């Protein structure tokens, strides 16, 4: 109900602001995979704003597989020569689609609205294809979060860890007290999520860039990477026996119920805490995982080459609205992420979101704002998949770190 | 005209399905074979680039795991399901009173989709919810049954669930086979005072050879294309310990945008099927020629 009021209010606000494209009729068919409760509500905000500006929105939601099904639908549409006006694609996939020569240029809107100065440089780079703007960012999820049950920490005299050694020490204390130190779900992408935060924490942003973005073979086989796998092995001892295949939200529930102390997961976990009526800072604590840096996961919409002025007008309107301050604020408040544009007033957001935004600004200046490999922001699917295979094989067996490092280098070479 | 129609009616009636099969089965097999020789990624491309995808497949530890799993799963599943099915059929063949009801009960798992079977067994085998927790609740605190979460044993849980699903169906096949054996021969053997187990092992089972072959073919192709059961039961995990070629192919095609890999693994799967079906077809055709 609250979000409905908010979205209506924002729709009215946008109307009052005097839309640029209200005179010509605008049309958009939007393919996306935001179909679950909170997400569907968030995308409805955009739909209402679009309609309020005189546009006709044709919704094409495709559920399933974390976007896999939507990707399949998109490929079929493009192959059939009937691309949607806009589709939810992110990270290097945008460049992959651009290379297929099917993306439209939205530079006109981007330059009028001055996106280059509104977005952090590395996020802006994802939205540009060889100098032109080809996608509009919706939000920024931070991946390198560690969530903790405040009460358990207080009862065991533990501070939020700022180094991985501190984390290990805290985990030993908790284990001795009979509490599961780390709530984790044994699914490949969750293993990968923990792995990348450890890479960032132990190796620093420069090493992260070399290993997981540039795929430098030296970095992949370095001693630092061995240390990363050692830490993964140590952490394998901190999860409960029954972790295989558990969904991430069930792991979050373990932290909420006091069965487990910590969880390493992106800020969508915050939504679970808040939906259960927990208060940040009181019932649960959020902090970035040990080490410096920031791993982002940015959802975005790419525009496809389509015929007809109405559709082109629709793309321009859509791009303008997606990056509009109103939509960025309302949408991200619903979704638990933070706005991609840096000039939005954050006073209405919770404590964790404010930390996230402040860190995004500071890491952007310091050059440690990094794309999340585990969430498809850093690499093409084949490469990130090859890395994830090794990470999850190591985590779920008794493979040594040296073996894992060798396997990692081989797998990456084989995927190129 | 009428005469022409009479002569050609069968061809005309069969033509649509013939064309459909040619395009949608053999046409797409050819397409997949072609794509498997290219460097296709997100979208199919058509420039042939030798056997690069097959080399990548051979170098992939994950695909190796998938093939080993297929061998373990296929062998155990086919052998145990056939033995169990035969045993149930023989027991049911003893002219017992409630045969109809029992047959239905054993056949029912086949009516469930693999997704339902997989989900149910996921709960049954889950250490925190299922058998382990129940037996421990009875007071046997040391009881452990964590195969589902053990990377070395998880593939056997897939075997268990698949056997539960299919052995009733195999039983029905064998029961029909047992009933089709000539009563007279059996009666003659009984008159000669031959013990029942000898009647089965020397007369009935050998005369059921074609049924064995049919059951084997049905189970073998079920095993090779197994996908939904693994997805529902283990999701391919822990790690990728229970991956099968079909789940590997799905991951490559739909999650990773690596269509070349997906196509080449699909071709390997098809060759495995051929290795089983071709000898069968060959033997079938030869017997007809005799």
Task: Assess whether pLDDT exceeds 90 at residue A96.
Answer: no
Task: Assess whether pLDDT exceeds 90 at residue B208.
Answer: no
Burial of B244 (0-12, 13-18, 19+ CB in 10 A): buried
Taking CA–CA distances from B259, the nearest residue in chain A reads: A382
Q: Which domain holds residue A252?
A: 142-296+356-415
Name the residue with tokens 């490559």: B252
* Each residue's pLDDT tens digit, B248-288: 999 898 888 889 999 999 999 999 888 887 887 787 777 65
Q: CB distance from A376 to chain B under 8 Å?
A: no
Q: Which residues on B lie below 8 Å from A396 (Cβ)? A: 151, 237-239, 241
- pLDDT tier at A21 (50, 70, 90 boundaries)? very low
Q: What is the CATH number of the domain that holds A17?
A: 3.40.190.10
SS (H, E, C) chain A: CHHHHHHHHHHHHHHHHCCCCCCCCEEEEEEECCCCHHHHHHHHHHHHHHHHCCEEEEEEECCCHHHHHHHHHHHHHHHCCCCCCEEECCCHHHHHHHHCCCECCCHHHHHHCCHHHHCCHHHHHHCEECCEECEEECCEEECCEEEEEHHHHHHCCCCCCCCHHHHHHHHHHHHHCCCEEECCCECHHHHHHHHHHHHHHHHHHHHHHHHHHCCCHHHHCCHHHHHHHHHHHHHHCCCCCCCECCCHHHHHHHHHCCCEEEEECCCHHHHHHHHCCCCECCCEEEEECCCCCEEEECCEEEEECCCCHHHHHHHHHHHHHHCCHHHHHHHHHHHCCECCCCCCCCCCCCHHHHHHHHHHHHHHHHCCEEECCCCCCCCCHHHHHHHHHHHHHHHCCCCCHHHHHHHHHHHHHHHC
Same domain membership, residue A397 and residue A317: no
Same domain membership, residue A154 and residue A289: yes
CA distances B207 to B80, B175, B179, B271, Å, are 21, 13, 11, 31
Q: Which of A371, A404, A370, A376 is nearest to A390 (CA)?
A: A404
Same domain membership, residue A218 and residue A367: yes
* Each residue's pLDDT tens digit, A132-182: 999 999 999 999 999 999 999 999 999 999 999 999 999 999 999 999 999
Name the residue with tokens 């007369």: B203
- pLDDT tier at A274 (50, 70, 90 boundaries)? confident
pLDDT, position A416: 80
* Interchain CB distance below 8 Å, A381 and B258: yes
Largest alpha-carbon pair distance within chain A? 68
Number of structural domains (chain B) is: 1
* Each residue's pLDDT tens digit, A332-342: 888 888 999 98
pLDDT, position B288: 59
* Each residue's pLDDT tens digit, A221-232: 999 999 999 999
Q: Is residue B54 part of a domain?
A: no
Task: Assess whether pLDDT exceeds 70 at residue A1.
Answer: no
- CB contacts < 8 A, A to B, total 100
HSE of B29, CA atoms in CB hemisphere, 13 A: 10
* Interchain CB distance below 8 Å, A244 and B237: yes
Q: Is residue B178 part of a domain?
A: yes
Alpha helix locations (H) across chain B? 2-21, 28-35, 52-59, 61-92, 99-107, 114-125, 131-137, 154-180, 183-191, 196-198, 209-224, 228-233, 245-250, 259-289
CA distances A396 to A187, B118, B154, B168, B218, Å, are 10, 21, 12, 34, 34
CA distance B158 to B22: 35
Q: What is the CATH number of the domain that holds B194?
A: 1.10.3720.10
Same domain membership, residue A286 and residue A194: yes
Task: Assess whether pLDDT exceeds 50 at residue A249.
Answer: yes
The separation between the first and the last C-alpha atoms of chain A, rounded to the nearest angstrom, is 49
Residue B55 tokens, joined: 């080399």
Taking CA–CA distances from B233, the nearest residue in chain A reads: A245
- pLDDT tier at B217 (50, 70, 90 boundaries)? confident
CA distance B240 to A388: 10
Provide mean pLDDT across the span A293-321: 90
Nearest Cβ partner of B239 from A384, A393, A414?
Answer: A393
CA distance A332 to B282: 64
Task: Assess whether pLDDT exceeds 90 at residue B194.
Answer: no
pLDDT, position A143: 94
B contact set with A (CB within 8 A): 41-44, 56, 59-62, 122, 126-128, 146, 148-149, 151, 154, 234-241, 251-252, 254-258, 261
Phi, psi values for residue A128, rounded to 5°: -110, 135
CA distance A301 to B35: 29
* Interchain CB distance below 8 Å, B237 and A188: yes
Q: Which residue has the higher pLDDT, A359 or A66?
A: A359
Q: CB distance from A348 to chain B under 8 Å?
A: no
CA distance B91 to B94: 6
Sign for the CA dihedral angle at B12, B17, B23, B25 comes to: negative
pLDDT, position A330: 86
Q: Is residue B260 part of a domain?
A: yes
Q: Is residue B220 part of a domain?
A: yes
- pLDDT tier at A6 (50, 70, 90 boundaries)? very low
pLDDT, position B279: 84
Number of structural domains (chain A) is: 2
Phi, psi values for residue A142, rounded to 5°: -90, 135
Nearest Cβ partner of B239 from A71, A72, A392?
Answer: A392
pLDDT, position B74: 93
Provide mean pLDDT across the span B105-116: 88
* Each residue's pLDDT tens digit, A8-17: 444 444 444 4
Distance from CA of B54 to the nearest CA of A (A): 11
pLDDT, position A285: 92
Decide which of A308, A331, A349 is a domain's last residue.
A349
Q: Which residues on A lie below 8 Å from B143 (Cβ)? A: none
* Each residue's pLDDT tens digit, B63-104: 999 999 999 999 999 999 999 999 999 898 888 888 888 888
Q: Which of A388, A404, A193 is nearest to B239 (CA)?
A: A388
* Interchain CB distance below 8 Å, A389 and B240: yes
Say how far residue B76 (Cα) sits from the centre of its chain.
11
pLDDT, position A24: 61
Provide mean pLDDT across the span A348-359: 90
CA distance A198 to A215: 17
Describe the crossing of helices B114-125 and B154-180 by its angle, rounded to 10 degrees.
Answer: 130
Residue B120 · residue B131 · CB < 8 Å: no
Express as a percent the part of chain A with pLDDT over 70.
Answer: 94
CA distance A286 to B124: 36
Provide mean pLDDT across the span A318-338: 88
CA distance B285 to B277: 12
pTM of model > 0.90? no
- pLDDT tier at A246 (50, 70, 90 boundaries)? confident
* Interchain CB distance below 8 Å, B238 and A75: no
Q: Which domain holds residue B119?
A: 62-289
Q: Which residues on A lie below 8 Å from B61 (Cβ)? A: 389, 393, 407, 411
Residue B117 tokens, joined: 């079977």
Same domain membership, residue A319 and residue A227: no
Q: Which of A90, A105, A75 is nearest to A304 (CA)?
A: A105
Q: Is residue B181 part of a domain?
A: yes
CA distance A411 to A134: 31
Same domain membership, residue A162 and residue A78: no
Q: Is residue B86 part of a domain?
A: yes
Same domain membership, residue A100 and residue A22: yes
* Each residue's pLDDT tens digit, B19-46: 999 999 999 999 999 999 998 888 888 8
| Other beta carbons less than 10 A from residue B157's beta carbon | 22
Taking CA–CA distances from A93, the nearest residue in chain B reads: B42
Q: Which residue has the higher pLDDT, B289 or B119?
A: B119
Task: Assess whether pLDDT exceeds 60 at residue A386.
Answer: yes
Element (DSSP H or E) covering residue B129: none
Q: Which residues on A lie below 8 Å from B264 (Cβ)? A: none
- pLDDT tier at A236 (50, 70, 90 boundaries)? very high
Same domain membership, residue A252 and residue A197: yes
pLDDT, position A35: 82
């Amino acid at each position: 109900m609250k979000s409905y009021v908010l979205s209506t209010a924002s729709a009215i606000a946008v109307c009052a602001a005097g839309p640029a494209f209200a005179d010509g009729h605008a049309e958009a068919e939007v393919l996306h995979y935001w179909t679950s409760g909170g997400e569907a509500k968030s995308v409805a905000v955009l739909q209402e704003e679009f309609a309020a500006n005189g546009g006709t929105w044709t919704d094409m939601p495709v559920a399933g597989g974390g976007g896999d099904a939507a990707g399949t639908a998109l490929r079929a549409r493009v192959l059939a020569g009937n691309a949607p006006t806009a589709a939810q694609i992110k990270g290097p996939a945008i460049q992959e689609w651009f290379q297929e020569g099917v993306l439209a240029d939205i530079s006109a809107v981007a330059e009028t609205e001055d996106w280059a100065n509104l977005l952090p440089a590395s996020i802006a780079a994802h939205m540009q294809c060889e100098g032109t703007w080809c996608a509009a960012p919706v939000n920024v999820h931070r991946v390198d979060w560690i969530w903790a049950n405040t009460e358990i920490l207080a009862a065991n005299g533990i501070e939020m860890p700022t180094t991985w050694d501190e984390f290990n020490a805290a985990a030993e204390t908790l284990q001795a007290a009979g509490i599961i130190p780390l709530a984790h779900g044994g699914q490949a992408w969750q293993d990968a999520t923990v792995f990348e935060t450890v890479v960032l924490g132990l190796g620093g942003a420069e090493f992260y860039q070399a290993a997981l973005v540039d795929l430098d073979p030296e970095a992949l086989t370095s001693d630092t990477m061995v240390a990363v796998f050692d830490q993964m092995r140590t952490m394998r001892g901190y999860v409960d026996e029954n972790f295989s295949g558990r969904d991430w939200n069930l792991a979050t529930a373990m932290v909420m119920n006091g069965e487990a102390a910590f969880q390493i997961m992106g800020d969508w976990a915050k939504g679970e805490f808040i939906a259960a009526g927990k208060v940040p800072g009181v019932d649960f604590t959020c902090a970035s995982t040990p080490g410096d840096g920031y791993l982002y996961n940015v959802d975005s919409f790419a525009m496809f080459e389509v015929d007809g002025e109405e559709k082109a007008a629709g793309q321009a309107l859509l791009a303008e609205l997606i990056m509009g301050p109103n939509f960025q604020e309302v949408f991200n408040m619903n979704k638990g992420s933070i706005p991609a544009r840096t000039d939005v007033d954050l006073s209405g957001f919770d404590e964790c979101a404010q930390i996230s935004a402040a860190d995004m600004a500071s890491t952007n200046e310091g050059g440690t704002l990094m794309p999340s490999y585990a969430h498809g922001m850093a690499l093409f699917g084949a490469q990130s998949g090859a890395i994830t295979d090794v990470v999850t094989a190591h985590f779920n067996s008794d493979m040594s770190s040296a073996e894992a490092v060798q396997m990692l280098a081989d797998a990456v070479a084989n995927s190129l | 005209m009428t005469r022409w129609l009479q002569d050609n009616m069968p061809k005309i009636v069969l033509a649509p399905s013939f064309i459909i099969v040619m395009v949608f089965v053999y046409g797409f097999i050819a397409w997949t074979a072609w794509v498997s020789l290219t460097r296709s990624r997100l979208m199919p491309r058509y420039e042939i680039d030798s056997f690069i995808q097959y080399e990548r497949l051979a170098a992939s530890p994950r695909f190796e795991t998938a093939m080993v799993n297929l061998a373990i799963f296929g062998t155990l599943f086919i052998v145990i399901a056939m033995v169990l099915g035969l045993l149930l059929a023989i027991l049911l063949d003893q002219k017992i009173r409630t045969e109809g009801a029992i047959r239905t009960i054993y056949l029912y798992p086949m009516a469930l989709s693999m997704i339902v079977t997989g989900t149910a067994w996921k709960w049954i085998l889950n250490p925190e919810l299922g058998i382990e927790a129940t037996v421990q609740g009875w007071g046997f605190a040391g009881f452990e049954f964590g195969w589902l979460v053990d990377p070395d044993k998880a593939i056997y849980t897939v075997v268990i669930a698949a056997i539960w699903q299919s052995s009733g169906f195999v039983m029905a096949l064998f029961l029909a086979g047992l009933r089709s054996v000539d009563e007279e021969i059996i009666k003659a053997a009984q008159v000669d005072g031959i013990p029942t187990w000898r009647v089965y092992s020397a007369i009935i089972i050998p005369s059921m050879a074609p049924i064995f072959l049919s059951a084997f073919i049905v189970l073998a192709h079920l095993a090779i294309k197994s996908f939904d059961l693994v997805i529902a039961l283990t999701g391919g995990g822990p790690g990728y310990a229970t991956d099968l070629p079909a789940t590997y192919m799905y991951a490559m095609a739909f999650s990773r945008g690596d269509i070349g890999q997906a196509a080449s693994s699909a071709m390997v799967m098809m060759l495995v099927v051929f290795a089983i079906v071709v000898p069968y077809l060959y033997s079938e055709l030869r017997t007809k020629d005799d």
